[in-house]
């Protein structure tokens, strides 16, 4: 577990990076914000790049684990599967918004300043793709989703999930973001292409409606 001092430095670094960006931020800025000695900073972190890497690693790890813990459940009822996907996606978007300044710095500056930082995203992308593929496999076995190339579809879904928060939420296209509504719209859009036909008709019958498959989820 990280010490209270290292957590203090990380919190200060997040504020500095969010306000100044990756390139303009300095170790001295972080030291000043954290109110610690330079020697104390270097006791825990080797450089500005190191502390930024720790921040992003922690964020991406939390994003993955929170999404996984929300979506994955034992003995899940088929009727609840799409609802769990919506819940997990809403959690995903919520965490993006809570850390949007840091994430924007990562995408807009850190890659070009230090390409090795891309490895963090590459690992996260792989884990998320595997998670989604596993959910799709489970849905196929339950008869909720149609047969498909789950690895390919998982990558396509993940790209869509990333683009929505980046363009709409992080890009500032909307002043007020309703993550529940945003997740519902995306899940509804995706579900029209992956639901098993018989299961979709059963859902419509249960809802007592003949509207478009996935509408209102």
pLDDT in tens, 140-170: 888 888 899 999 999 988 888 877 777 765 6
Segment 125-131 long-range contacts (CB within 8 Å, at least 24 positions apart): 125/158, 127/64, 128/64, 128/67, 128/158, 129/154, 129/155, 129/158, 130/154, 131/64, 131/67, 131/68, 131/71, 131/72
- Mean pLDDT over all residues of the chain? 82
Q: What is the pLDDT of residues 20-55, one digit of tens each?
A: 999 999 999 999 999 999 999 999 999 999 999 999
Say whether domain 1-45 belongs to CATH 1.10.10.60: yes
CB atoms within 10 A of CB 17: 25
* Structure tokens given for 198: 């018989």
Q: Which CATH superfamily is domain 53-207 in?
A: Tetracycline Repressor, domain 2 (1.10.357.10)
Do 24 and 84 touch, CB atoms closer than 8 A? no
Which helix (H) or strand (E) segment is 32 a member of? helix 27-34
CB atoms within 10 A of CB 42: 13
Q: Closest Cα partner for 76 from 31, 136, 142, 137?
A: 142
Is residue 108 scored above 90 in pLDDT?
no
Which helix (H) or strand (E) segment is 131 a member of? helix 118-142
What residue segments make up the domains of the chain, in order of their start? 1-45, 53-207
Do domains 1-45 and 53-207 share one topology? The answer is no
């Amino acid at each position: 577990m990280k010490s209270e001092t290292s957590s203090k430095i990380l919190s200060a670094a997040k504020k500095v990076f969010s306000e100044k960006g990756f390139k303009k931020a300095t170790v001295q800025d972080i030291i000043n914000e954290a109110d610690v000695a330079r020697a104390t900073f270097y006791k825990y972190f080797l450089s500005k790049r190191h502390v930024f890497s720790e921040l992003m690693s922690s964020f991406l790890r939390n994003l993955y684990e929170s999404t996984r813990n929300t979506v994955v459940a034992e003995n899940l009822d088929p009727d609840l599967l799409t609802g769990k996907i919506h819940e997990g996606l809403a959690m995903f978007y919520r965490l993006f918004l809570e850390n949007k300044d840091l994430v924007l710095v990562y995408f807009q500056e850190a890659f070009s300043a230090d390409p090795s930082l891309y490895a963090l995203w590459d690992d996260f992308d792989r884990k998320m793709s595997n998670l989604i593929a596993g959910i799709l496999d489970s849905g196929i076995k339950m008869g909720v989703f149609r047969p498909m190339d789950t690895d390919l579809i998982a990558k396509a879904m993940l790209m869509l999930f990333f683009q929505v928060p980046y363009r709409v939420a992080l890009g500032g296209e909307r002043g007020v973001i309703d993550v529940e509504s945003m997740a519902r719209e995306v899940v509804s859009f995706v579900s029209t292409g992956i639901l098993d036909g018989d299961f979709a008709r059963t859902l419509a019958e249960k809802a007592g409606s003949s509207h478009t498959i996935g509408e209102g989820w």
